[in-house]
Structure 1
């Protein structure tokens, strides 16, 4: 595993440890209407103008924030712990989830895991500071520490989500009464926000761009009868199988005359897609 750590420049890529354990998403095998609203596409959607993006951002942010607030208001245990109507950081999260949906910061892994880490660290540090009368009188120090540690962990775990910094800060400065229930509040709110984003963003756009990582994830191993007989293949050759639809090939973007084919496990922004489409048009 030390080969995944670059000591010369102080770099550790956690995905090199985790990605081999995470299977490739099965969306392509689901019915098309379901896979469509989970972000799967045979080909990338066309780039949209800012008027369309502004319209769906307006609808999405309104619905996302309203649904999170309404659901939280109707959970008695939240209200008994004096939970706020809506945690302020969900406002910033809604901007990412419905406006900058191509950003890595808006993808499910970042949006959910970061908020769990932030609320856990924020409440934990707040409780520790409360044990000391002097420390409890300077909550701004605890808030800054929680925000800083959360940011460092997000960088190391590839879950950077700016609103989580606000969650960590608020958990220390204003979340003492809510206590550990803040973790459940943030988890529920983040999941609800993602559900609304899947429904609204996939009407004319595509969300998420990826669920865990833009890098290719391993697919189930398929028995290779030729290799079993001792025949060797070139290292770049795809695995043979009885089902050609499951042949494992390296991830690649194909540019043909008039069209661009991007595999589902490759992350690409709308601007990059526009550039590739221009290249494909030159091939005519």
Structure 2
């Protein structure tokens, strides 16, 4: 094989390798700006319904998961529809009682509560991205009187762009794709224009409020508010003093869902999983067997 061909082949392979390794991590820039939550400063009953646990709750069987998913989805959708239906400014603009994408959001936020897709950051910012993209594309298509013949392409474009932006911002939430699509293709939603923002923000807030109550009765939600990764901070004297007190008293109480260090502790008859660490039902069974052997 000629040397020049081999060199070209090698250069091509390196170029493909460089392209395939492209990665944009927005958290690298944002996480240093996010303060670590201090849950130890919040009364325990309130912190409980904000997702804080000193110990991970025991896993539930799928029957109870199905029950609470049903209750949560009913409460969440009913709350959003009932409140939105009674907002005068929504009525004046003929806003729908509830955007269809909230049905999918209810399934995710009440059924798979441990999934990153269901966490508040994803649920909130993904829908804002969908509103910007969907309404923006809808407005651009409205500039061309013949655009109504290609409205399905506008919806597909809105969905595609929204998906890409969710991936880049770490806010993937499937219902947002539906929101972007509806913002371009649904006549009632298109009529809202930029007023889709308050409609969605109210709905997201109500759905999340319902999730914080229902999902924390026997389960835990959210697993984290911003990220499952530890948030850095300067260790001041007060924090070190708190840690020393917990060490002296043998307490395993953690003040943050994303604090450092995080340890999974397996003792005889007891398992402690730190907040922000996902443990599936199968993994929990393995830990239980290890605990029983100690």
Tell me, yes or no, whether TM beats 0.5: yes
Residue 260 of structure 1 deviates from its aligned partner by 1.9
- Say whether 1:178 aligns with 2:192: yes
Q: In the superposition, relative to structure 1, how do residues 267 and 24 fare at CA in structure 2: closer, same or farther (>3 Å)?
A: farther
Match of 1:203 among 217, 220, 227: 217
Equivalent residue number for residue 7 of structure 2: none
Equivalent residue number for residue 135 of structure 2: 123
Equivalent residue number for residue 234 of structure 1: none
Residue 249 of structure 1 deviates from its aligned partner by 4.5
Contact 1:111 1:161 in 2 (8 A): yes
Q: Which runs of 4+ in 1 moved over 6 A?
A: none
Contact 2:182 2:190 in 1 (8 A): no
Report the 3-state secondary structure (helix = DSSP H, G, I; strand = E; otherwise coil) of the residue aligned with 1:255: strand
Within 5 Å, which residues of 2 pair with 1:69-80? 69-80=81-92
Within 5 Å, which residues of 2 pair with 1:219-230? 219-223=233-237
Q: Can you give the 5+ residue segments of structure 1 that lack an aligned partner in the other structure?
A: 1-5, 225-238
Contact 1:210 1:267 in 2 (8 A): no
Q: In the superposition, relative to structure 1, how do residues 109 and 137 fare at CA in structure 2: closer, same or farther (>3 Å)?
A: same
Report the 3-state secondary structure (helix = DSSP H, G, I; strand = E; otherwise coil) of the residue aligned with 2:192: coil
Q: In the superposition, relative to structure 1, how do residues 53 and 173 fare at CA in structure 2: closer, same or farther (>3 Å)?
A: same
| TM-score, length-scaled by structure 1 | 0.87
Residue 242 of structure 1 deviates from its aligned partner by 7.1
Contact 1:121 1:146 in 2 (8 A): yes
Q: Could you say which structure has the larger radius of gyration? A: 2
Equivalent residue number for residue 110 of structure 2: 98
Match of 1:214 among 222, 228, 233: 228
Equivalent residue number for residue 26 of structure 1: 38
Contact 1:110 1:161 in 2 (8 A): yes
Q: In the superposition, relative to structure 1, how do residues 87 and 257 fare at CA in structure 2: closer, same or farther (>3 Å)?
A: same
Mapped partners of 1:250, 1:17: distance in 2: 22
For residues 144-192 of structure 1, the C-alpha deviation after alignment (integer angstroms, 9 at most, x for no partner) is 0000000001011110000100000000011221111111111111111
Q: In the superposition, relative to structure 1, how do residues 153 and 164 fare at CA in structure 2: closer, same or farther (>3 Å)?
A: same
Residue 221 of structure 1 deviates from its aligned partner by 2.8
Mapped partners of 2:260, 2:153: distance in 1: 51
Number of equivalences: 264
Contact 2:51 2:222 in 1 (8 A): yes
Report the 3-state secondary structure (helix = DSSP H, G, I; strand = E; otherwise coil) of the residue aligned with 2:271: strand
| TM-score, length-scaled by structure 2 | 0.84
